[in-house]
Amino acid sequence: MKVLVRFFALYRESAGTNRTTLELADGATVKDLVGKILTDYPAVASDGTAVVVAVNSDYVSHNFVLHEGDEAALIPPVSGGIR
């Protein structure tokens, strides 16, 4: 299945792009997606910080199961935010 991944702010700069499309196995989770992104774009979250992910504009856990056509986004720490 195909999943769109969008990058913003710091992660956009680290990745050198604002989006990519990943081919993932059916039943893949956000954890699988993050693993692939960190392999393909080693500069993203290179300090080992846990990557926060949103799917279809909602924050999700790394156990979240993805579906064909989902839009995922890697969310750097939010401006002035307390996470």
Partner 1 sequence: MKIRLTQDVLDPEEITQQIRRDTNGAVITFLGTTRNQTRGNRVLYLEYEAYPEMATKQILHILAEVKDRWGIEQATVAHRVGRLDIGEISLVVAIASPHRKEAFAACQYTVDRIKAIAPIWKKEAFENGSAWVGCEELHHAVHS
Q: Does 75 interact with partner 1 (rule: CB under 8 A)? A: yes
Site string for partner 1, 32-71 (x = CB under 8 A): ---------------x-x----x--xxx------------
Residue 14 near residue 46, CB atoms below 8 Å: yes
The three-class DSSP label of residue 54 is strand
Q: Does 80 interact with partner 1 (rule: CB under 8 A)? A: yes
CA distances from residue 13 to 6, 19, 25, 45, 68 in whole angstroms, order as listed: 12, 11, 27, 11, 26
Q: Does 8 interact with partner 1 (rule: CB under 8 A)? A: yes
- Binding residues for partner 1, rule CB under 8 A, total 22
The only residue of 1, 13, 35, 60 in contact with partner 1, by rule CB under 8 A: 13
Q: How far is CA 76 from the centre of its chain?
A: 10
